[in-house]
């Protein structure tokens, strides 16, 4: 059973079974204290199966949220929401690839990348921090947080201490962030209680030496723990990769007795407890879960826990990752929303689960909780119809000649977006396009023929063979294969999920050679250089509209009338939309709108005529 399936199963395990397992490992031993970060030095320790803060038992009541998925102006609001629910700690991943876009090119301050400021806000709000800096995080984020530039190396072996290129990149990352993290450790007067060494490594490998080396690398940079690991219990038992002396976080499990048999005297806690779940494109509905009874049992037992996630936020831009089997099959890309069915929803409002959790935690700690912060205002706006503006076909860069199609990363050092593969075909009948990563539209002489989807869901075109029209079959034609990508696989053993065409193309079973390839990264530089077009006769059109707003508030942009593509608001890429659902609405924060006219740009892979766009106030409706 794959880890994601396994944890989904355990998260929804019948509560009677969960209750027995929780009570078997109860550790009630006095009332946990409630100290808050105050700028003073604090000693957080792992001792005798307990967490200790300044020598006294401490219960971590944590909720996970990721600053990269939250507009920076809402960071404080979301932290306050977690505190008002009764939590005392914020857990966060640091997505390496959000900070280092190119080798040695780091940005730790722009937009929502300034995770150090986020940690300081946690301290200001009286919240401790559990830091999970990777290098790998999973998190349904693109490539599990690893920088996709690693895939430009044809022989890269990620999460491998014996791959010198990978470990040099990790060292560069640690060198960059460690000086910022060190002063924020509790022992130095900051709010960070504990630092996780890697993430869910037992689901990937069996080299305990890799984890030991990462720990040593942190220590060499002045960060001496306490350290933790987090993993599925079954995977950890099989891989035998427990890092001695580290706190053991159980993901989707509450069998503390079995966990303690691995960890010895180190504390065992719920490293990830799932109040919701992730959703993939093409699933029938948004995924949910019910964690109320399990949370109550953890509170009754005095167990520390981390809710994954208390607030999910949004996979803005190209942030959404994907899952797949170890051989790359069963490819399942994650939707743009990371709402996750969390207690605090994508736009920052409390759900019914939030109120249930707040009631349970409030009764458990015996203290009055802070008032629930007001939710950000959501606004509707009337439907608008964009106009065709620029054709992708009129905005192609210079071609690169290649013998065989190759992935984006190897051809152009391109991490995301699209690649066009073009070739003049001889006469022939049956075209076969193999290994499309991840969605292709196919044209002959500018005429749309068909699409090919790597995502295998009902109603999607997954056949790789295409019959050419009679005229093209008899006389030949110009073939265009436009390949769009989803996020890189971020979990499991498919660690070389390169994008574009990764296999051969044949005509009547004969391999086709000599191609022209065009890079279409859809990044900010590409979008700035777009030139208007006069002809819009085939799909691949940028539509543009002006939306006038008297006031700027949060909104969801309803794209249900469109097919598949991307949406930009005032230059900000909200993310992907796709008619297969279940998501049809993209969240846009108030700060990305402005009073007056707003520019909205849609790139649709199938539409040649515009459709309606409207503003609504919820993800579902």
pLDDT value at residue 240: 97
Spatial separation of the C-alpha atoms in residues 145 and 95, rounded to whole Å: 5
**H or E, element range at 578:** strand 572-578
Residue 506 has pLDDT above 60, yes or no: yes
Residue 21 has pLDDT above 90, yes or no: no
Nearest to 206 by CA among 229, 237, 228, 249: 237
Residue 329 has pLDDT above 50, yes or no: yes
Spatial separation of the C-alpha atoms in residues 62 and 308, rounded to whole Å: 9
For the residues 43-66, what does the mean pLDDT come to?
96
Active site residue 332: no
Cis peptide before 582 (omega within 30 of 0): yes
Pairing of strands 505-507, 430-433: antiparallel
C-alpha pair distances (Å), 193 with each of 51, 298, 358, 511, 532: 10, 20, 23, 58, 53
Q: At 367, is the pLDDT very low, low, confident or very high (cuts 50, 70, 90)?
A: confident
Classified as helix, coil or strand, 601 is: strand
Q: What is the pLDDT of residues 95-147, one digit of tens each?
A: 999 999 999 999 999 999 999 999 999 999 999 999 999 999 999 999 999 99
At 269, list the tokens: 């806690």
Classified as helix, coil or strand, 286 is: coil
pLDDT value at residue 50: 93
Q: What DSSP line would sit under 520-570, residue for residue?
A: E--SHHHHHT----S---SS-EEEEEEEEESS--BEEEE-TTS-EEEEEET
pLDDT value at residue 33: 53
Q: What is the pLDDT of residues 158-167, one digit of tens each?
A: 999 999 999 9
Residue 497 has pLDDT above 70, yes or no: yes
Q: Which CATH superfamily is domain 3-365 in?
A: Glycosidases (3.20.20.80)
587 Cβ contact partners less than 8 Å away, ≥ 6 residues apart: 314, 337, 346, 347, 554, 556, 574, 619
Spatial separation of the C-alpha atoms in residues 510 and 495, rounded to whole Å: 30
Q: What is the pLDDT of residues 385-420, one digit of tens each?
A: 999 999 999 999 999 999 999 999 999 999 999 999
397-414 b/e (C-beta count within 10 Å ≥ 16 → b): eeeeeeeebbbbbbbbeb
Q: What is the pLDDT of residues 226-248, one digit of tens each?
A: 999 999 999 999 999 999 999 99
Locate the DSSP E strands across 1-79. 44-47, 50-53, 56-57, 61-64
- Does the 381-390+530-616 domain belong in CATH 2.60.40.1930? no
For the residues 580-605, what does the mean pLDDT come to?
98
Spatial separation of the C-alpha atoms in residues 26 and 475, rounded to whole Å: 76
Catalytic-role residue among 45, 140, 200, 346: 200
Residue 530 has pLDDT above 70, yes or no: yes
Percent of the chain, pLDDT > 70?
95
Q: At 14, is the pLDDT very low, low, confident or very high (cuts 50, 70, 90)?
A: very low
CATH architecture of 396-522: Sandwich (2.60)
The domains spanning 381-390+530-616 and 396-522 adopt the same CATH topology? yes
Spatial separation of the C-alpha atoms in residues 454 and 465, rounded to whole Å: 13
Spatial separation of the C-alpha atoms in residues 155 and 158, rounded to whole Å: 10
Residue 616 has pLDDT above 50, yes or no: yes
pLDDT value at residue 17: 37
Spatial separation of the C-alpha atoms in residues 228 and 246, rounded to whole Å: 5
Active site residue 124: no
Percent of the chain, pLDDT > 90?
92
Instruction: Mark residue 194 as left, alpha or beta (left: phi above 0; alpha: psi -120 to 50; beta: remaining).
Output: beta
Q: What is the pLDDT of residues 182-241, one digit of tens each?
A: 999 999 999 999 999 999 999 999 999 999 999 999 999 999 999 999 999 999 999 999
Task: Let me know: does 424 contact 533? Beta carbons within 8 Å.
Answer: no
Give the domain ranges of the chain: 3-365, 381-390+530-616, 396-522
pLDDT value at residue 37: 97
First to last CA, the chain: 34
pLDDT value at residue 5: 54
Q: At 493, is the pLDDT very low, low, confident or very high (cuts 50, 70, 90)?
A: confident
Catalytic-role residue among 272, 332, 346, 432: 272
Four-CA torsion 105, 199, 180, 186, nearest 10 degrees: 180
Q: What are phi and psi of 604, to 5 degrees?
A: -115, 135
């Amino acid at each position: 059973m794959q880890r994601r399936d396994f944890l989904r199963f355990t998260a929804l395990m019948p509560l009677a079974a969960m209750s027995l397992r929780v009570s078997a490992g109860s550790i009630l031993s006095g009332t946990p204290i409630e100290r808050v970060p105050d700028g003073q030095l604090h000693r957080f320790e792992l001792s005798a199966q307990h967490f200790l803060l300044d020598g006294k038992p401490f219960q971590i009541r944590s909720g996970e949220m990721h600053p990269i998925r939250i507009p920076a102006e809402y960071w404080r609001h979301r932290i306050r929401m977690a505190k008002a629910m009764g939590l005392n700690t914020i857990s966060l991943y640091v997505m390496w690839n959000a900070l280092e876009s190119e080798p040695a090119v780091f940005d730790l301050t722009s937009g929502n990348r300034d995770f150090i400021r986020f940690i300081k806000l946690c301290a200001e709000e009286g919240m401790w921090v559990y830091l999970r800096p990777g290098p790998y995080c999973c998190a349904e984020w693109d490539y599990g947080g690893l920088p996709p530039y690693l895939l430009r190396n044809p022989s890269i072996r990620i999460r491998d201490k014996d791959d010198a290129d990978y470990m040099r990149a990790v060292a560069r990352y640690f060198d960059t962030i460690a000086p910022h993290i060190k002063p924020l450790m509790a022992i130095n007067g900051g709010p960070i209680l504990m630092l996780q060494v890697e993430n869910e490594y037992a689901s990937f490998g069996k080299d305990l030496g890799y984890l030991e080396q990462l720990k040593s690398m942190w220590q060499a940079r002045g960060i001496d723990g306490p350290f933790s690991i987090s993993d599925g219990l079954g995977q950890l038992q099989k891989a035998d990769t427990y890092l001695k002396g580290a706190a053991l976080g159980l993901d989707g499990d509450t069998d503390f007795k079995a966990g303690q048999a691995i960890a010895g005297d180190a504390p065992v806690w719920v490293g990830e407890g799932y109040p919701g779940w992730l959703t993939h494109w093409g699933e029938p509905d948004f995924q949910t879960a019910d964690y109320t009874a399990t949370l109550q049992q953890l509170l009754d037992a005095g167990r520390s826990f981390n809710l994954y996630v208390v607030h999910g936020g949004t996979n803005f831009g190209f942030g959404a990752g994907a899952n797949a089997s170890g051989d790359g099959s069963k490819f399942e890309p994650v939707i743009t929303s990371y709402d996750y069915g969390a207690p605090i929803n994508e736009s920052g409002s409390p759900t019914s689960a939030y109120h249930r959790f707040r009631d349970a935690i409030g009764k458990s700690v015996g203290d009055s909780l802070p008032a629930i912060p007001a939710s950000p205002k959501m606004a509707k706006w009337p439907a608008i119809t964009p106009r065709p503006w620029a054709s992708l076909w009129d905005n192609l860069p210079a071609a690169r000649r290649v013998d065989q199609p190759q992935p984006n990363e190897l051809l152009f050092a391109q991490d995301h977006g699209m690649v066009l593969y073009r070739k003049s075909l001889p006469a022939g009948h049956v075209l076969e396009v193999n290994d499309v990563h991840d969605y292709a539209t196919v044209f002959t002489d500018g005429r749309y023929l068909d699409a090919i989807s790597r995502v295998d869901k009902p109603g999607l075109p997954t056949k790789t063979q295409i019959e050419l029209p009679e005229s093209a079959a008899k006389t030949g034609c110009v073939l265009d294969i436009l390949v769009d990508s989803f996020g890189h696989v971020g979990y499991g053993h498919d660690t070389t999920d390169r994008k574009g065409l990764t296999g051969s193309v044949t005509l009547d079973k004969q391999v086709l050679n000599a191609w022209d390839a065009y890079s279409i990264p859809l990044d900010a530089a590409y979008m700035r250089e777009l030139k208007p077009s006069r002809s819009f006769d085939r799909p691949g059109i940028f539509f543009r509209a002006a939306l006038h707003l008297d006031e700027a508030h949060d909104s969801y942009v309803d794209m249900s009338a469109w097919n598949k593509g991307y949406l930009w608001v005032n230059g900000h890429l909200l993310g992907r939309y796709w008619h297969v659902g279940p998501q049809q609405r993209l969240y846009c924060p108030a700060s990305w709108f402005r009073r007056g006219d707003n520019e909205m740009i849609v790139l649709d892979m199938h539409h040649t005529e515009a459709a309606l766009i409207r503003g609504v106030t919820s993800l579902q409706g």
